[in-house]
Amino acid sequence: MKIKEIKIGKVSIPLKKPFKTALRQVNSAEDIIVKVIADNGATGFGNAPPTAVITGDSQESIAAAIRNTIGPKLIGMEVGNLEGIMTVIDSSMRHNSSAKAALDIAVYDLFGKLHELPLYKLFGGYRHSMTTDLTISVNSPEEMVRDALEAVAAGHTALKIKVGTDAALDIKRVQAVREAVGDEIDIRLDANQGWTPKEAVRTIRSLETMGLNIEFIEQPVKAHDFAGLKYVTERVETDIMADEAAFGPYEVFQLLAMNACDLINIKLMKAGGLHNALKIANFAETMGIPCMMGCMLESKVGITAAASIAAGKKIIAKADLDAAVLLAEDPVVGGVSFAGNQIIIPDAPGLGITEVIGWQEI
Ligand SMILES: [Mg+2]
């Protein structure tokens, strides 16, 4: 099975409600969907949601990197030579992690099809379903309570609350949600780089004193401030997770060597795909640091890829793979399914995806 052709397209999927974090607000999920087509007609699906504020990648830059720079080098390569293909993807250009992830996911999908193996089994087959949280956008405390109660009523047992816009108000937000949902629900916070190190320590200590029982806190400080992240981690009891700081394997290696965090959030679009996500998981496992698999606002293509590696690897113990649940429509045929708080990985070869409806070639 050889790579014959690469097609680039996009889908625009409306959200059920606007997605708001300390970094941005969006009303729809824009996703680039790549089809890597083999000479026997098999298609591998990959995706890359342009998330400029996090990855620096735009729709135009992703499409150009795939079309002009990385894609042409892959034509004619044997799908069975996964290692060779990944070396070409990684070495063809610097940065552009989203474009690399899209091709990586599509090639893994084809590799799974070639060997008739679902990807979660290829990655270790540790589980075939996981609990995923649901993200509560940053809003007024009243609105966040409404969203949280709605999520719990739908069967969710873990809520990820977006904070980081105003430390005093953040405490009120979390307190209001905790009072509304009770003690049985896991509450994790994501500050999306919104606090200074000292502000983070003050805020987190207040949350601890108030007994709000926060499972962990994601990225309290700026992405580049590894020393600040370590400062926070050392001064609070609550577990601290690196997200924007934990970009690719190299950054994660640095964070782990510094003991700068308690947990790592792996995302395919930061890592540059599944093969780098696997490296990160292996580093973290070596250092005894549990991981969470996260996602961008994206279609079920990337969610299925992320869920497949998370399910395969024991060290990826948590999942924040709710993007598909936030979408008002699902154009992806096949892939993961959802039941209450569970994300269920399919047993079909590769990603188990057969088509993306409304895919428009660009
Ligand atoms: Mg995050």
Rounded to the nearest angstrom, the distance between the alpha carbon of 250 and the centre of ligand 1 is: 19
Rounded to the nearest angstrom, the distance between the alpha carbon of 5 and the centre of ligand 1 is: 35
Q: What is the pLDDT of residue 21?
A: 83
CA 285 to chain centre: 18
Rounded to the nearest angstrom, the distance between the alpha carbon of 361 and the centre of ligand 1 is: 30
Rounded to the nearest angstrom, the distance between the alpha carbon of 38 and the centre of ligand 1 is: 35
Residues in the chain where the model's pLDDT stays below 50? none
| Distance of alpha carbon 62 from alpha carbon 99, whole angstroms | 5
- Give 292-333 pLDDT, tens digit per residue: 999 999 999 999 999 999 999 999 999 999 988 899 999 999
Q: What is the pLDDT of residue 325?
A: 87
Rounded to the nearest angstrom, the distance between the alpha carbon of 97 and the centre of ligand 1 is: 17
- Give 95-123 pLDDT, tens digit per residue: 999 999 999 999 999 999 999 999 999 99
- Confidence (pTM): 0.97
Measured between its terminal Cα atoms, the distance across the chain in Å is: 26
Residues forming the active site: 162, 267
Rounded to the nearest angstrom, the distance between the alpha carbon of 186 and the centre of ligand 1 is: 16
The count of other CB atoms within 10 Å of the CB of residue 339 is: 9
Tokens of 22: 């300390």
Domains, the chain, in order of start with CATH, read: 3-115 (3.30.390.10), 121-356 (3.20.20.120)
| Distance of alpha carbon 153 from alpha carbon 185, whole angstroms | 12
